[in-house]
Amino acid sequence: VAVLALAQQRILVTGAGGFIGQHLVTRLKAEGHWVRGVDLRQPTAGKTDADDFQQLDLRHPEACLSACGDKIDWVFQLAADMGGIGYITSSHAAIARNNTLINVHMLEAARQQRVQGFLFSSSACVYAQSKQSSPEVAPLKEEDAYPADPEAGYGWEKLYAEELCKYYREDYGLDTCAVRFHNVYGPLGDFEGGKEKAPAAICRKVALAHDEAEIEIWGDGKQSRSFLYIDECVEGLVRLITGHDPLPVNLGSEESVTISELVDLVASIAGKEVVKRFRTDKPQGVRGRNSDNRRLLSLLGWQPTVSLREGLTHTYQWVHDELQQENRLPGRRSVTVG
């Protein structure tokens, strides 16, 4: 069901081979738009709903010009070099270089090709680390990104790209919009290989574990987060085309859990007992992070409502089915899953 009284647009989704991009392409097609997808890789699902899919490296200006060509009206800039906490804490230079190149060239290409609107996928990693030092953290309001103290590499780059979006709006009239995603999860997300994030990694570990087996959890388990189910992320993005204003906005869930509670929830969905082995020698990020959705609600008259249990039930089922198809689910032997 279309939520927008919006005429058909020509929309570019970058990162359309990735997790959020694939879901967004499907949703935009269902809304009746013409959609081009661009990514460095083919869609991980093996197929795309895009009218046109181009495999391009958006670190290069010519690739960005080509992606924004043919009278594109709107760009969803989701292409980024990113991953879970292990990846983003160990690859500062590569992430900052790759994402700076992509964002600088995409904004300039959008300007040169006279694109009307540009939505940039920012992150909760832009928030000042000093405001996230306790698991009982106050939900983060948009103004808490300043004075700037974002996460190294990835967070600094996102914050700088938000500023670039502002300058392109002010100097060239490009209608930019920076959206700060908070921990999006769901089917099609990477669940192994080093770029996966906590919900998908935990679903994999629980699915692969024998009942009562030990599973490894990064950190002491007391760090808290909120997690946004993919359908709600896409819903918010589509609504923001017509609902945004010049200031950055959170797109997250306000349901906070500790990582230990997240494991218990996945185990209960799976119907398994697991023993948690906490690895405090592994990176665990800030102590607490949650989204304050008041700005989102005032812009859209809408905010996410799907419960974590419901979203995780779909996600666990998907990860379980993927592993089952590859014959990787456990037999009867007792193992530790790391």
Write out the residues near ligand NAD by the rule CB under 6 A: 15, 17-21, 39-41, 56-59, 78-82, 98, 102, 121, 123, 181, 183-184, 197
Short-list 76, 88, 139, CA closest to 284: 88
Q: Shortest gap between Cβ of 218 and ligand NAD (angstroms)?
A: 16
Is 160 a catalytic site residue? Answer: no
Cα(143)–Cα(149) distance, rounded to whole angstroms? 12
Q: Which is nearer to ligand NAD, 193 or 301 (CB)?
A: 193
- Closest to ligand NAD by CB, 163 vs 273, is 163
Closest CA to 232 of 13, 24, 17, 36: 24
What distance lies between CA 126 and its chain's CA centroid? 13
Residue least distant from ligand NAD (Cβ): 18
Distance of alpha carbon 151 from its chain centroid, rounded?
16
Nearest CB to ligand NAD, comparing residues 18 and 221: 18
d(C-alpha 228, C-alpha 308), whole Å: 8
Alpha carbon separation from 219 to 158, 209, 223 (Å, rounded): 25, 19, 8
> C-alpha distances in angstroms, 330 versus 210, 211, 269?
6, 10, 17
CB atoms within 10 A of CB 122: 26
Q: How far apart, in whole angstroms, are the C-alpha atoms of residue 22 and residue 188?
A: 8
Structure token pair of residue 88:
């983003």
Side-chain half-sphere exposure of 163, counting CA atoms within 13 A: 11
Side-chain half-sphere exposure of 47, counting CA atoms within 13 A: 2
Minimum distance from residue 143 beta carbon to ligand NAD (Å):
19
**Distance in Å, CB of 50 to ligand NAD, minimum:** 13
Q: Which is nearer to ligand NAD, 103 or 303 (CB)?
A: 103
- Point out the catalytic residue in the list 87, 127, 146, 154: 154
Report the C-alpha dihedral over residues 37, 43, 47, 50, rounded to 10 degrees.
Answer: -10
Cβ proximity to ligand NAD, 209 vs 285, nearer residue: 285
Q: Catalytic site residues?
A: 154
